[in-house]
Amino acid sequence: MTGTVTHDPPPGPADRPGRPLIITEDAVLLDDLLRLCAAAGATPEVRHDVPDSGDGWTAAPLVLVGDDAARRVSGAARRPGVVLVGRDQDDSDVWKRAVLIGADHVLMLPDGEAWLVDRIADVAEGTGRPALTVGVIGGRGGAGASTLACALAVTSAREGLRTLLVDADPLGGGLDVLLGGESADGLRWPAFAASRGRVGGGALEESLPELHSLRVLSWDRGDCVAVPPPAVRAVLAAARRRGGTVVVDLPRRLDDGVAEALAQLDLVLLVVPAELRAVAAAGRVASAVGMVVRDLRVAVRGPYAPGLDDHEVARLLGLPLAGQLPVEPVLLRPQASAKAPGATGRGPLARFCAHFWERVLVESGGTR
């Protein structure tokens, strides 16, 4: 059982990790709370009473008060982030004790364990502003969506933002290959296929290959071609908690896992070559994607067929125009295949990506 006491909510999340504070003399309850802290990757401070120093009470990002200690802490200064923890599901007076100490939540074990592990993990990771998460999808095959996704991620990292590039297309050949890092050490999607519940953001980041100053979650060359939706949800949620930017290269084949990815995106770019057949195909993609995403924009790639320009393509699709996506001639030459798209910071593709991030970061409220 968990419940919320109505009063002022906790303040905005901190940008630095902190140690939760446990106050209890109940040895069995303490064992449970220590076990849950370990599962969340946190090392708590344990007290039998309110710390002598007021800072120990006010500075802890989360305070877990055992039901046995409620009256002992009732005189402490009111602060957000206090959880009253007990085990007696039938104790109706627990709510009075929660009000007495100014608790945000009342939680009964074992029912509330999953919720509490998530809450402890948030403070252990120092959860801050969530990442701006952008998806890229082609209006037709060969539209250049993967190239744009890589270039956006490389540009974001070059601007000094924490960046994760996620390859959500198991049949695309691997974005690590496009970035020249197919042999780089680190985990790929199959390692996360069994993930359920919560994935630690820091652990995820550290486990992935680092290429061009960004982290990449791609596919290996094995037989795994799908990741269950709960695993997609857990991984992307962990990535978002780390802040910065997350770029997701999406397949045109929409299954349950892709739908889960779409639901976590802030914005999707639909890459459409300026030709009538591509526009027709992109209309079907836009119809499916638009049922899930909140913000779908079109990036139009030249050269242009007669009678078409970027504004006309956007009008035909009924979507806002993100801009004209130029062809990067150097990427078409075999000798440039080892270069990551946008890696030099020069050329029309890099300029498109820089302008895109400048615009959407301002729209989202500033740098992350």
State the sign of the Cα–Cα–Cα–Cα dihedral 154, 156, 160, 166.
Answer: negative
Residue % of the chain over a pLDDT of 70: 90
pLDDT at 304 over 80: yes
State the sign of the Cα–Cα–Cα–Cα dihedral 340, 344, 350, 354.
Answer: positive
The pLDDT value recorded for residue 281 is: 96
The pLDDT value recorded for residue 10 is: 38
User: Regarding predicted confidence, which is higher, 326 or 192?
Assistant: 192
Lowest model confidence (mean pLDDT) among 151-165, 198-212, 323-337, 342-356 = 323-337
Q: How far apart are CA 279 and CA 270, in angstroms?
A: 11
- 16: confidence class by pLDDT, cuts 50, 70, 90: very low
Residue 185: CB atoms within 10 A of its CB come to 9
- Pick from 284, 282, 287: which is nearest to 298 by CA? 282
- Rounded to the nearest 5°, which phi and psi values hold at 298? -110, 135
Q: Are strands 210-211 and 214-217 parallel, antiparallel or unpaired?
A: antiparallel
The pLDDT value recorded for residue 60 is: 92
Residue 324: CB atoms within 10 A of its CB come to 17
The pLDDT value recorded for residue 4 is: 43
The pLDDT value recorded for residue 328 is: 67
Pair of tokens at residue 187? 């985990």
Pair of tokens at residue 289? 């994607």
Yes or no: say if 184 and 210 are a contact pair by the CB < 8 Å rule: yes
pLDDT at 188 over 80: yes
The pLDDT value recorded for residue 324 is: 93
The helix (run of H) or strand (run of E) holding residue 286 is helix 276-289
Q: Please tell me whether the overall predicted TM-score, pTM, comes out greater than 0.95 for this model.
A: no
Helix, strand, or coil (residue 84) = strand
Q: How far apart are CA 251 and CA 46, in angstroms?
A: 49
Asked if the peptide bond before residue 9 counts as cis, ω within 30 degrees of 0, the response is: no
Q: How far apart are CA 170 and CA 150, in angstroms?
A: 16
Angle at the Cα of 360 from the Cα atoms of 254 and 291, rounded to 5 degrees: 25
Yes or no: say if 27 and 20 are a contact pair by the CB < 8 Å rule: no
Asked if the peptide bond before residue 61 counts as cis, ω within 30 degrees of 0, the response is: no
Yes or no: say if 2 and 117 are a contact pair by the CB < 8 Å rule: no
